[in-house]
Structure 1
Amino acid sequence: MLTHFNEQQRARMVDVSHKEPTERTAVAKSRVVMKPATLQTIEQGKISKGDVLAVAQVAGVMAAKKTSELIPMCHPIFTTGVDLAFEKTADDTIEIKATVKTVGVTGVEMEALTAATAAALTIYDMCKSVDPDMVIGPTYLVRKTGGKSGDYVRTPEKG
């Protein structure tokens, strides 16, 4: 039987009550591609809505903590750490790296992916008036540690 379906073949949240808590980490990335002038305006702090990356940082943290409210079969978890980093990887690209940690019975992959996505959406929202052609993505899991299934590292890292 598939783990997310009950005996009536209806969706269910998997029962994780029998699992032992372990330390778990997940790292996800996303990116926002924009006009070089838009990125330069962000770097100069001249976007009219404010400090774009500071707001995106807070949005990513908040999103990680609210993931189970957005993804129907996601367990509510106690996050022990959430961090986001932003890197200019080209004259038109900001890469977002979200790292989420917990000690628990289920992983934090969805929280890391949600954090990276929310940060990217926030960058778009704050800059859309000057650059509605921005493109978000790809968004993907880079690595995860802990849990019964063990560690995962995306190889080679693509995107």
Structure 2
Amino acid sequence: MKLSHYDDEGRAHMVDVGAKPATRREARARAFVELSPAALAALPTNPKGNPLEVARFAGIQAAKQTASLIPMCHPLALSFIDVEARIVEGGVEIGATAATVAGTGVEMEAMTAASIAALTVYDMTKALDKGIRIREVELVSKSGGKSGEWRRS
């Protein structure tokens, strides 16, 4: 199997997607922020503001900046980005969905949104808990393009 971001000499390059048809593409990613019970209990009264809302906004903004952060990632006009952050047992579950109509997918935008939202929860709560862990940043599903549908089992 050949990785498309490398040429015949092994140098990294941006893949030319100009000949690919523009189709609707969507991706969903998730992340988990593990917090202590004390930090979880303090989330609604954080003096910096509501960490979950700040994380949502940070994830949305990050998705729009993905091509500036990932060197071989194409700049995309996103038609939709949504980030959810909710308190669950043991921490905060982050979900991010990105969509576009383009010749390349939005997996990196969804993964970037989930990652930055998780890092923002960390930033907003680090004074309460030095043992915070960010876990399971992963692609959940993608649709569109040549490879079609994919879902994590």
TM range (shorter): over 0.9
Q: 5+ residue gaps in structure 2?
A: none
Residue 126 of structure 1 is matched in structure 2 by: 124
Please identify runs of 4+ aligned residues in structure 1 that moved more than 3 A: none
RMSD: 1.1
Aligned residue among 113, 116, 130 for 2:114: 116
Paired position in structure 2 for 1:151: 149
Q: Confirm or deny that 1:76 pairs with 2:75.
A: yes
Equivalent-residue separation in structure 2 for 1:113 and 1:136 (angstroms): 13
C-alpha displacement at 1:88, in angstroms?
A: 2.4
TM-score using structure 2 length:
0.95
Counterparts of 1:63 and 1:24 in 2: how far apart (Å)? 18
Q: Give the paired residue count.
A: 152
Q: Measure how far apart 1:2 and its partner are.
A: 4.1
User: 2:54 aligned with 1:50, yes or no?
Assistant: no
Gap regions ≥5 residues in structure 1: none
In structure 1, how many angstroms separate the alpha carbons of the residues matched to 2:3 and 2:95?
A: 32
Task: Report if the CA contact (8 A) 2:83-2:95 is conserved.
Answer: yes
Q: Which residue of 2 aligns with 1:135?
A: 133
2:144 aligned partner, one-letter code: G
Distance (Å, rounded) in 2 between the aligned partners of 1:35 and 1:98: 23
Larger mean CA deviation between 2-11 and 79-88 belongs to 2-11
Any idea what the Cα deviations from partners look like across 1:59-92, whole Å, max 9, x if unmatched? 00010000111111111111011101123221x2
**Using the alignment, how far apart are the partners of 1:127 and 1:15 within structure 2?**
41
